[in-house]
């Protein structure tokens, strides 16, 4: 399949391009994670995975928790549906939604658009703690981190309708902090994940809301070797074998 048809790179672009991005929208991480599972099916590396998704035996959990087990929510959990419970198809998506008994893949999404160093310790802490939560139920879940890092020369955030532009002094431009953020993530978060993907982009969040990355094709070629490797390395599990 042509790499351009994969959904995660396009979905990430759609967060910013042509409209303002509001960082306090908690549903955005869920949406990006949902594209991860769509693309696992499109990738087509495991016939058993594709068949079980098609039969709705493996589903995306929209509440991001396993039945009967309290844990901090991640942005997207995927696994075996609870026997006897319904699965719900969603238009335009290959992976159905439902309650899961076990977590087989867990994803956590973070987007650092500005003020990166101010929040980097909290972000890394959230990422690491989420791995602990994914693994609390036992098993060998594949743990995936997806972190977007803005390299733009300026950026405007919004608190409600109030704009907060960077000025390069008190409020650093993204490009002034991005490489430091990448380094800290690689040193302190990456080692705890099975796969850890840093998505570099440029967005000003100012009309006409441009968004720049490597081409969608190049981004796809970078992302999917990570996920394909995760499938291969877990090929002895019931889901993939």
Domain boundaries, the chain: 3-233
The predicted structure's pLDDT at residue 221 = 56
Q: How far is residue 223's CA from residue 96's CA, in Å, rounded to a whole number?
A: 23
The predicted structure's pLDDT at residue 63 = 65
Q: How far is residue 238's CA from residue 241's CA, in Å, rounded to a whole number?
A: 6
Q: How far is residue 74's CA from residue 134's CA, in Å, rounded to a whole number?
A: 8
Three-state SS annotation for 65-77: CECCCCCCCCCEE
Question: Are 174 and 114 spatial neighbours (Cβ–Cβ below 8 Å)?
Answer: yes
Question: Are 150 and 113 spatial neighbours (Cβ–Cβ below 8 Å)?
Answer: yes
Residues lower than pLDDT 70 in the chain: 1-5, 62-75, 138, 214-241
CA angle (83 as vertex; 77, 87 as ends), nearest 5:
60
Q: Residue 5, preceding bond cis, omega within 30 degrees?
A: no
Q: How far is residue 99's CA from residue 82's CA, in Å, rounded to a whole number?
A: 6
Tens of pLDDT, residue by residue over 85-112, are 999 999 989 999 999 988 888 999 999 9
Helix, strand counts (H, E) of the chain: 6, 8
Q: How far is CA 236 from the centre of its chain?
A: 24
The predicted structure's pLDDT at residue 168 = 97
Smallest Cα–Cα separation from 103: which of 67, 56, 128? 67
Pairing of strands 142-150, 195-203: parallel
Q: How far is residue 74's CA from residue 100's CA, in Å, rounded to a whole number?
A: 14
DSSP 14-41: HTTTTS---TT-THHHHHHHHHHHHHHH
The predicted structure's pLDDT at residue 232 = 53
């Amino acid at each position: 399949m042509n790499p351009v048809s994969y959904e995660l790179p396009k979905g990430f672009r759609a967060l910013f391009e042509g409209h303002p991005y509001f960082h306090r929208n908690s549903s955005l991480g869920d949406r990006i994670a949902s594209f991860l599972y769509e693309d696992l099916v499109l990738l087509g590396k495991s016939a058993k995975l594709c068949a079980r998704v098609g039969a709705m035996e493996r589903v995306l959990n929209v509440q991001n928790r396993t039945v009967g087990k309290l844990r901090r929510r991640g942005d997207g959990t995927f696994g075996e549906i609870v026997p006897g419970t319904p699965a719900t198809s969603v238009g335009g998506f290959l992976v159905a939604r439902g309650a899961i008994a076990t977590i087989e893949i867990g994803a956590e999404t973070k987007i650092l658009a500005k003020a990166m160093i101010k929040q980097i310790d909290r972000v890394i802490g959230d990422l690491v703690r989420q791995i602990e939560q994914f693994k609390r139920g036992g098993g060998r879940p594949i743990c995936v981190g997806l972190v977007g890092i803005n390299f733009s020369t300026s950026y405007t955030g919004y608190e409600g309708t109030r704009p907060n532009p960077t000025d390069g002094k008190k409020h650093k431009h993204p490009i002034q902090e991005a490489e430091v953020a990448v380094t800290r993530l690689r040193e302190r978060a990456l080692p705890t994940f099975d796969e850890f993907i840093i998505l570099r982009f440029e967005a000003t969040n100012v009309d006409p809301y441009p968004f720049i990355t490597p081409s969608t094709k190049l981004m796809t070629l970078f992302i999917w070797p990570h996920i394909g490797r995760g499938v291969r390395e877990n090929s002895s599990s019931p889901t993939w074998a």
